[in-house]
Amino acid sequence: AQSVTQLGSHVSVSEGALVLLRCNYSSSVPPYLFWYVQYPNQGLQLLLKYTTGATLVKGINGFEAEFKKSETSFHLTKPSAHMSDAAEYFCAVTGGRAFGNEKLTFGTGTRLTIIP
Amino acid sequence: ETGVTQSPTHLIKTRGQQVTLRCSSQSGHNTVSWYQQALGQGPQFIFQYYREEENGRGNFPPRFSGLQFPNYSSELNVNALELDDSALYLCASSSPSDRSLAKNIQYFGAGTRLSVL
């Protein structure tokens, strides 16, 4: 079974400041980890994913995340926030390599607000 | 290449009614997953269809059922609607590139917002 905990349901940062959104996971098998973004009245868009290999993954719009197995974390960062980054962000996990195990388990989300 | 499309975008039903939501998967994708997103929550997995067969189900009662058609489009049916069924219903499609479905990216539609009165 998998689960995801996102610390902080609301995060506010100033434009140009560092963005840090926290995600911790629990998985009984090696996880695949994802960050999705949801803009108002829209579906989910993939920002980045970790499956195997390099633990620092880069995504779209300048976001990146680091898989830390020892800390069971997959925090999302961006060096400099932009007004267009305001949205809801979801961390998600799947059960790894088993065939047919594609169910995404999501966290409860973090709403990011950018202060001008 | 068209993305994932869902219809209708909004729907209002009354308690006890039945509803059908539709999803057209992205071109070339043979796997469709459905999720329910209640207000202020993350999406919850309902079920997944792979090549027209159910391939996994979340903790949802049997009144939630689905179909996948030969063209890989899909329907979500909900019978005996309850007030708690009010939510955004998201469809996602993907295409396994190897035997491991899990690492394949799921592409989401914009969702159908269902209100049950």
pLDDT in tens, chain B (117 residues): 568 999 999 999 999 999 999 999 988 888 899 999 999 899 999 999 988 899 889 999 999 999 999 988 999 999 999 999 999 999 999 886 655 555 578 889 999 999 999
Interchain pair B31, A97: CB under 8 A = no
Taking the CB of residue A1, how many other CB atoms lie within 10 A of it? 8
What number is the average pLDDT over the span A32-39? 94
Interchain pair A44, B43: CB under 8 A = yes
- Which residues of B are less than 8 Å from A31 in CB distance? none
CB-based contact A82:A101 (threshold 8 Å): no
What number is the average pLDDT over the span A58-87? 96
Q: What pLDDT is recorded for position B1?
A: 52
Burial A15-36 (b: 16+ CB within 10 A, else e): eeeebebbbbbebeeebbbbbb
Residue A98 has pLDDT above 60, yes or no: no
Which among A44, A108, A111 is the top mutation candidate for probing chain B, defined by the most B β-carbons within 10 Å of its own β-carbon? A44
A14 forms beta bridges with A115
Cα A1 to Cα A100: distance, rounded to the nearest angstrom: 14
Q: What pLDDT is recorded for position A27?
A: 85
Q: What pLDDT is recorded for position A37?
A: 96
All residues at 6 or more sequence positions from B40 whose CB lies less than 8 Å from its CB, including other chains: A108, A109
Cα B54 to Cα A34: distance, rounded to the nearest angstrom: 24
* Residue of B42, B50, B104 with shortest CB distance to A106: B42
CB-based contact A76:A35 (threshold 8 Å): yes
